[in-house]
Structure 1
Amino acid sequence: MFAGLDPVVLARAQFAFTISFHFIFPAFSIGLASYLFVLEGLWLKTGQGVYANLYRYWLKIFAVVFGMGVVSGVVMSYQFGTNWSVFSEKAGPVVGPLMAYEVLTAFFLEAGFLGVMLFGMNKVGKGLHFFATSMVALGTLISATWIIAVNSWMQTPAGYAINAAGQFVPGGSWADIIFTASFPYRLVHTVIAAYLTTAFAVGAVGAWHLLKDRANPGARKMFSMAMWMAALVAPVQILAGDAHGLNTLEHQPVKVLAMEGDYHPSPDGAPLILFGLPDSEAAEVRYELSLPHLGSLILKHDPFAPLPGLTDFPREEWPPVHIVFWSFRIMVALGFAMLGIGLWSLFARYRRRLYEWPWLHRAAVVMGPSGFVAVIAGWVTTEVGRQPYTVYGLLRTADSVSPLAAPAVAASLLAFVVVYFVAFGAGTYYLARLMARPPERGESEPPHLPQRAAGITPASGVTAPFATKE
């Protein structure tokens, strides 16, 4: 049944499917961990119970997201041995230690303090609990740093040597391997993307509850915080993306040309192709809608700067142009839509109508999944644009795959599809149920904070589920 299929294509499809599922959860957990850190810090500093309620509300969601991220990540890592054993053998001496450092420094840090964070609110002091939350947030950032270091080395390899067995081995300082030319740009772009993903998810939940009850203090606070993040961070992300694009043009020009759809060189300045249908066989973008010279202005900051074309490079070096072309446009379009929502929220805040404009709230609900779609589109752009290599310019994807028959890879791919949609579909449904519940209207107190200090008395009827018994 599957004998006529290409096992390399199937192996790539399987890894793309599993990593797309997996990357959704770390992108959310990185931002949520930092958001919880901010909420608990504000809670302990101000004594305002609305932050306590929001911390407890999002802590449950974070626990589920973190768990699904761990499970999907463990499953994905096994594919290095099953489907990509040649890559593991050749690049293992460089990639293996970096991934081991991620486990030893980040995952152990997160796992060590996660229990205190989840279950220690009434069992440890407020300082220790806040420290546990900060360590989990730090652990997610350290984890992102190591994983981006691995991916950046595969994109812009440096600091390596090739031994007699054809393996990549450290050729000097490990700093050269970790801090490659693209590493800082990828790290900043990815972490900001995680924060924006979380901001729009939080903002969508807040907007959903504002549409039902504009007076809910938790919904108002989470929506306000999310919109501040959108308004302030979305422009920074656009600038970071521009810097990342310039770096990619320097080190991976074929990828950028595929993103732009520039098949032919432009000696007097390249246009910006907004839309069209890339046709690599004919080396043209059919039905293109373009703006003259704007491509060179963006990529070279000079509207008349010459740019090469894909035809300047061997055709076997081209990635699948149509995929990269459209995934890049999805990412960019969503980025500007995020900026638009952020600016809209600033205008509403200026008019003192942030909680009163239902169309803004509806738009925020619609934009709730936008961060997840954008990070997947960005990941597709990065990984498909690197093709036909796993280690850019050095190790081809076709030479990295395990010697497996197509039926074996296809069967495991189908199994992954069924299991993932059932298991993670159930998890996503549970998350939606948690988010559909409105935040508590009453105010909880920080632990060990006397009720009078918080301005709340027992007579007010407000419960304090995290307050310690004194």
Structure 2
Amino acid sequence: MDVEILARIQFAFTISFHYIYPPLSIGLGLVMVAMEGMYLKTGNKLYEDMARFYTKIFALIFGIGVATGIVMEFEFGTNWATYSKYVGDVFGSALAAEGIFAFALESGFLGVLLFGWNRVSSKVHFFATVMVTLGSMFSAIWIVVANSWQQTPAGYHIVGSGLEARAEITDFWAMVFNPSSIQRVCHVWIGAFLAGSFLVLSISAWYLIKNKHITFARSSFKIALVIATISGLAQLFAGHKSAEVVAKYQPAKLAALEGHFDSLAVADMYIAGYIDTKNQKTVGLRIPKGLTFLTHNDFTTPIRGLKSFKPEDRPSALNIVFQSYHLMIAVGMLMILLTLYACWLWYKGKLFEKRWLMMVFVWAVLLPQIGNQVGWYAAETGRQPWVVYGLLRTSDALSKAVTANQVLFSLILFMLVYTLLFALFIYLLNKKITHGPYSKGDIDHSPQHKIMAEEIGTL
């Protein structure tokens, strides 16, 4: 492999691993806010116990997420020096804003969230939980803004030429509110809400299958189910708005996402299929003129296809773009159907009667992770061959001094280290879940704790 492919694989691997954790922390933070809010409203100790338990899991996720995110910043300098020089002024502003407005807020209240139990009032601790959650959401804003600028650059001008060229900000707020940033931030936030809520659904379902902490698990399941259902339905709207931006500003990506080749013609929407790159056609189950309707709200307006772009300006990995995009949609629809079915059973009073459904929810924790990952793959591979759309090609963004052997060696090391980190994460997560929300030392004989005490057999 050449150095470009290896560098891209390395960055894809490190960011894919890192991207497991920030969505979980954002989504779990929202669930914790709901749980603590219920405690303040009702005074029911059960909700406080939920928040305490999931705070421990949040801390584990947050720690691994911070550690795995540091590596990417070094990769910008080692493997992508030309890119770093080109976008440094733009990214520097966005990442500085993240540090000032997001990470400082999040880390500032994190200590109160983790260690403030029984040291500050319930209202102060709830405020800290809200601030940590908002901090994680603000952090996502600035990261997505920086990435969205690569997709739809705005508020800049180019200084210098050739290898000395670089982008400078001329309008900070135009850079922040570039054509795709708002839609993509909402899309990422909702994906994170799904990741966090499905984690709680999975843990709660596992307790119910094992007949452990029944009252705790049923209550936490219902809270997470409400958040997951609303988020899944909201993602339909957010995803559609994001696709509209792609259609307007990145027509080559839209054509790759749906395997549309004809230069200028009405386009079908594929439910599933594959791209025959040799014959330049797409085969599969499709809705005739569906893409045209979703894009233009009619069945007659033509859409540019891949043949209308020069071969060197088209995404090269067409099937990766196509399959990732359609897998994201399939996973999203599956989550919606699953949560709506669970809500219908809840309405009928039969939610916890179906053991098979609880087993499905245990493993459904993987669905939002898969959706988030393949969604990112579709967005980033669909942008190729540009690293900054229409301005800087990926092949020109590489460091000139780094060699393929150096990148390969570091990639192997990263794989080993990240495999160990993931094994450690799973071990610690399993340990916390197996231990459960209660221990005998947590239980007294007050009326508020009676149900909990019965669950662990201390009465």
Query: Kindly tell me: are residues 101 and 393 of structure 1, through their superposed partners in 2, closer, same or farther at Cα, counting changes over 3 Å?
Result: same
Provide the C-alpha distance between the structure 2 equivalents of 1:202 and 1:137, rounded to a whole number of angstroms.
16
Q: Separation in 2 of the partners of 1:290 and 1:395?
A: 34
In the alignment, is residue 20 of structure 1 matched against residue 16 of structure 2? yes
Name the residue aligned to 1:38.
34
Give the aligned partner of residue 126 of structure 2. 130
SS in 2 for 1:273: strand
The percent identity for this pair of structures is 37
Which residue identity is paired with 1:378? G
- How far residue 200 of structure 1 moved from its aligned partner, in angstroms, is 1.3
Question: What residue number does 1:167 align with?
Answer: 166
Structure 2 portions without partners, runs of 5+: 455-459
Equivalent in 312, 321, 340 of residue 324 of structure 1: 321
Structure 1 pair 88–426 and aligned structure 2 pair: CA distance change class (3 A): same
Letter in 2 for 1:383: E
Deviation at 1:304, TM superposition (A): 3.0
**Secondary structure of residue in 1 paired with 2:20:** helix
1:225 corresponds to: 223
Which residue in the other structure is 1:239 paired with?
A: 237
Q: Any idea what the Cα deviations from partners look like across 1:302-346, whole Å, max 9, x if unmatched? A: 233322210011111111211110111111000000111111012
Residue 17 of structure 1: how far off its partner (Å): 0.2
Q: Describe the SS at the equivalent of 1:305.
A: coil
Distance of 2:362 and 2:422 partners within structure 1: 22
Asked if the contact 1:214–1:355 (Cα under 8 Å) also holds between the matched residues in 2, the reply is no
Please say if residues 49 and 443 of structure 1, whose CA atoms lie closer than 8 Å, have aligned partners that are also in contact. Answer: no
Give, as a single letter, the amino acid of the residue that structure 1 aligns with 2:376: W
1:460–1:54 Cα change, 3 Å = closer
CA deviations 1:159-189 (Å, max 9, x no partner) are: 1011124110012x21011110101100111
| Alignment TM-score, normalising by the size of structure 1 | 0.91
Give the SS at the match of 2:273: strand
Does 1:392 find its partner at 2:386? no
Q: Output one character per residue of 1:379-421: Cα deviation in whole Å (capped at 9) or x when no partner.
A: 1111111111111100111111112111011110111111100
**Separation (CA, whole Å) in 2 of partners of 1:461 and 1:203:** 20
Q: Does the aligned pair in 2 maintain the 1:217–1:441 contact within 8 Å?
A: no
Paired residues for 1:74-85 under 5 Å: 74-85=70-81
Shift of 1:347: 1.4
Query: Residues 433, 301 of structure 1: CA spacing in aligned structure 2 closer, same or farther, 3 A cutoff?
Result: farther
SS of residue matched to 1:78: helix
Number of the residue aligned with 1:363: 360
Q: What does residue 415 of structure 1 align with?
A: 413
Deviations 1:116-148 (A, max 9, x none): 111121222223222221111110011011111
Distance 2:422 2:343 in 1: 36
Shift of 1:443: 12
Residue 440 of structure 1, CA deviation: 3.5
Q: Which residue of 2 aligns with 1:468?
A: none
**In the TM superposition, what whole-angstrom CA distance separates every residue of 1:269-321 from its partner, at most 9, and x where no partner exists?**
32222232213333122x42322222222222223332221001111111121
CA–CA distance in 2 between the matches of 1:337 and 1:216? 27
SS, match of residue 11 in structure 2:
helix
Q: 1:212 & 1:231 partners in 2: Cα distance?
A: 25
C-alpha distance in 2 between matches for 1:356 and 1:437: 25
Whether the aligned pair in 2 keeps the contact of 1:185 and 1:243 (CA below 8 Å) is: yes
- Asked if 1:64 is matched to 2:63, the reply is no
Q: Scaled by the length of structure 2, what TM-score is found?
A: 0.93
> In the alignment, which residue of structure 2 is the partner of 1:142?
138
Residues 69-78 or 124-133, more deviating: 124-133
Question: Secondary structure of 2:129's partner?
Answer: helix
Give the one of 188, 192, 198 matched to 2:186.
188
Answer yes or no: is the 8 Å Cα contact 2:258–2:322 preserved in 1. Answer: yes
Which one is further off, 128-137 or 426-435?
426-435
Mapping 1:102-121, distance limit 5 Å: 102-121=98-117
Would the alpha carbon gap of residues 29 and 85 (structure 1) be closer, same or farther in structure 2, given more than 3 Å must change? Answer: same
Which residue matches 1:342? 339
Asked if structure 2 preserves the Cα contact closer than 8 Å seen for 1:52 and 1:443, the reply is: no
2:274 is equivalent to residue 277 of structure 1: yes
CA distance in 1, matches of 2:84, 2:69: 17
**When you count helix as a share of all residues, which structure comes out higher?**
2
Q: Could you tell me how far 1:83 is from its partner in structure 2?
A: 0.7
Of 199, 202, 207, which residue of structure 2 is paired with 1:201?
Answer: 199
Aligned to 2:373: 376
* Letter matched to residue 197 of structure 1: A
Provide the C-alpha distance between the structure 2 equivalents of 1:19 and 1:189, rounded to a whole number of angstroms: 18
- CA offset digits 1:13-43 (Å, max 9, x no partner): 0000000001110010011112212211211
Aligned partners of 1:49, 1:440: CA distance in 2, in Å? 12
Alignment match, 2:152 = 156
Work out whether 1:351 is the aligned partner of 2:334: no
Unaligned runs of 5+ in 1: 446-450, 464-470
RMSD across aligned C-alpha pairs, in angstroms?
2.2
SS in 1 for 2:39: helix
Question: CA-to-partner distance for each residue in 1:407-450, whole Å, 9 max, x for gaps?
Answer: 011110111111100122211222133234444499989xxxxx
**Structure 1 residue 101: Cα displacement:** 1.5
